[in-house]
Chains A and B, each alone.
Chain A
Amino acid sequence: MRKNLQISMAKTTYMVLVMLVTLCTASPLFADESVTAIKGGDLYTITSGIIKNGTVLIEDGKILRIGQNIEIPKNAKVIDARRKVVMPGLVAATAEVGVGGGSKIADSLDPFQHDVSLALASGITTAYVSRGGPSGSNPIGGTNAVIKPTYGDLDNMLVKESVAQNAAFRSWMGKTSFRQNLRKAQAYLQKLDEYTRKKDQKKLQELKKPSGVDTYIRLLKKELPARLRATTAAQILDIVELIDEFGIRVIIEDAIEAWIVAEQIAKHDIRLIITPRNKRRPNKYISAPSGSTLENAAILKKAGVKFAIVPTSPYFQTWGVAGRDLMALPMEAAFAVRGGLDEQTALEAITITAAEIIGVADRVGSLQVGKDADIIILDGHPFHHKTFVEWTLINGKILYDKSKSPYFSHITHND
């Protein structure tokens, strides 16, 4: 009896030892997880084509290497992406997510907002958010920022503040005020330049900056684009004239009739944010072309215009009509393809071009070495209606896993 007990104790000790050794070597708990590898997927790099059966290595939240036949470090954490599509996280050029009240976005970010987790489930890893805007006769106002939906993590949420100037150029009062302020700023800059060149210290000291022109100076110096809404061709042409006069950079939102004036938009290097499914009835009182067309994006592309695509609603919603908000951003881009746009440009419109327009293309929007490891892994082509996001990584961390999340884990396609 006593002997048996000893034997069983020895056995137990041995078993525990074996288990410990196995744990130390096999368990990811003890592995050096400084490197993550996404292995075996089709890499939609966006900026350099599709790499079949490729691997992405991630270190310190950045993309370390991309390609085929990449050796995976022994202790790396490996995500098996065989038969999956690996692409940069989607960029929402207009969104309403992760921000509370208040006029300074950085001071009211909410990483625990439910919409933040819905954004992750939708594959969106970068979003432009804005607060306030022009009011009354003041053509500029409000603030904006680019954020990442880093659920539960406040420190990594803000990417960049003030990436554009919210503006309006629609009412005659607003338009007049916009022009006057730009002229004031321009006159000031001209004098400043003239006196500086002449080294006229006295006049330089006497030169007073007019009040309220700081933002207009930044617009004139092209440090900041003006971001405004213009749905009709006439409104867009108004803005074209403004650019002719002052040479400012402009982003136009909701450019439904852009296809009518595509050439002028291209010539003036205006960036657009469009919604292919937005419809507008033609104006029956004018003989010239008007209204919306499904071909908007395709025509703009042909003219060489850069545009981002957003859905009709900037929200992440569990109510309303499915497919019309940011929970189905690729679907919106797919409608542009339906209207004749090539798939590559449509993909760019929700990744790299969107990132460029909101001023963060140096960090996100494509699978490129050195960029933030904001990556989504999909179970099919991004434009297929059955496709779901399986994993979402931001800064190299898995923040969404479809199988462990309540949103879509129960939906599977058997064919």
Chain B
Amino acid sequence: MSNIHKYILLNILLWMLSIPAAAAEDITVIKADRVDTVTSGVIENGIIIIKDGRITAIASDIEIPDSANIIDASDKTIFPGLVNPISRVGLSSAPSGGAASNPHYRVADELYPHQDVYKRVLQTGFTTLGLVPGRGGAGIAGQGAVIRPVGNKPEEMIITESGLLMINFQANDKTKKVIKGALDSAKNKTSSTDPKVQPLINALQGRIPTYITCSGPGEILHLLKLLEPYKKMKVVLIAGSEQYRVADKLAKKKIPVILPPKLDFEPFTRNRINVPKMLTDAKVKIAFSPRGDGIESHEDFLRAVTDLVKSGLDKEIAKKAITINPAQMLAVDYRLGSLEVGKDANLLVLSGDPLDVGTKIHMVMIEGKIVHKAP
């Protein structure tokens, strides 16, 4: 069993323990027009049964328990809650500076619940956020956390406390030295009591994903060279739009990328290019994240993804890129990111297909609880 599997298993175990046993009659049933599971197709006239916050059944012909609360969505589409794989929503501005190694820094220690911005993010359909240390400043930025944008205490928001390691790469000698030095200090170790080393071990062993930011295709080549000795690392790349120039190399190394949903210009021309399409054509796995942390880019998110689909991006891939793919990149796909039996009931009740223009969000549910209802 690989380390990532062990880690996931442990997470599943913790997750099972964390949810208090609910009363037996706490059952919700959603009757829908269409249930878009993302991972196993669309179920017409689908019914979803939710118990204790989790999906216990999805099908078109199930018997509905008598005591269930029934949500009638018979003219609506059900879609998994959106997952934003890289975000700093609700966090204070990140420190920046010269190349430094701060693997012990944790976003989880800086959460502020009760912020209005979380409510507004929920309204735009995002039910899971991967919060990361800042992108400013080079070196090892610290550990990110996976959260749900609801809850009264930080503990209630957190899904994975030390969910990922974040590195800001730059192609220069100082930054390379800092990153390499830190990683090498944790190489060949299986555990450490040093809070500066343990997260690096987790990343090197592939127990947690490693997010790496860099700015262009040239830097990606430098990065790939630097990463060569660290074979078990689960790298997720966040790079500029010109990364399509090294798409074949990313595909070969099976490195997935996170990018904003937007059409670009081919550099120094006025030719429009669809970078997400170019990357997926080259067999690179992608996930979308809103262009910024402002609420406008969240409100515009599905429209922007729809634009990419209109200009050639495969619609099914686009749907995965806003749900299951980012969940995989955050290593939480065992419990969310698609509508499957056993997974969290994180879902959206929509007026139609999520990637059709004009589709409205009527309801947002996280773990079986209605967290937003359109007026």
Contacts and interface: CB of A to CB of B under 8 A. Distances in A.
Interface of A: 100-104, 107-114, 152, 154, 318, 406
B218 A154 contact: yes
Contact of A112 (B172, B175, B242, B269): B242
Contacts of B219: 100, 110
Given A152-B245, A154-B221, A154-B222, A110 B216 contact: yes
B266 to A, nearest CB: 10
12 contacts: A100-B171, A102-B170, A102-B171, A102-B173, A107-B172, A107-B173, A110-B219, A112-B217, A112-B218, A112-B242, A154-B218, A406-B269
Contacts of B216: 110, 112
B174 interface: yes
A103 B172 contact: yes
Given A112-B242, A114-B268, A406-B269, A104 B218 contact: no
B173 A110 contact: no
A103 B173 contact: yes
A107 B171 contact: yes
A109 B173 contact: no
A108 B269 CA distance: 25
Given A152-B245, A406-B269, A111 B218 contact: yes
Contact of A111 (B172, B221, B269): B221
B283 interface: no
Interface string B203-246: 00000000000001111011001000000000000000010010
Contacts of B225: 154
A318 B268 CA distance: 10
A104 B172 contact: yes
Given A101-B172, A112-B245, 12 more contacts: A100-B171, A103-B174, A104-B173, A107-B172, A107-B173, A108-B171, A109-B218, A110-B216, A110-B219, A112-B216, A113-B218, A154-B218
Contacts of A101: 170, 172
Contacts of A406: 269
Main SS at interface, chain B: helix
Per DSSP, chain A at the interface is: loop
A343 to B, nearest CB: 34
Nearest to A116: B218
Contacts of B217: 112, 152
B176 interface: yes
A110 B216 CA distance: 9
B281 to A, nearest CB: 18
B269 A107 contact: no
Nearest to B224: A154
- A101, A107, A109, A114 pick with most chain B CB within 10 angstroms: A107
B97 interface: no
Nearest to B221: A154
Given A114-B267, A114-B268, A152-B245, A108 B173 contact: yes
Contacts of A152: 217, 245
Nearest to B175: A102
A93 B170 CA distance: 28
A119 to B, nearest CB: 14
Contacts of A100: 170-172, 218-219
A141 B163 CA distance: 44
A393 to B, nearest CB: 21
Query: Which of B176, B218, B225 has the most CB atoms of chain A within a 10 A radius of its CB?
Result: B218
A110 B221 CA distance: 9
Contacts of A112: 216-218, 242, 245
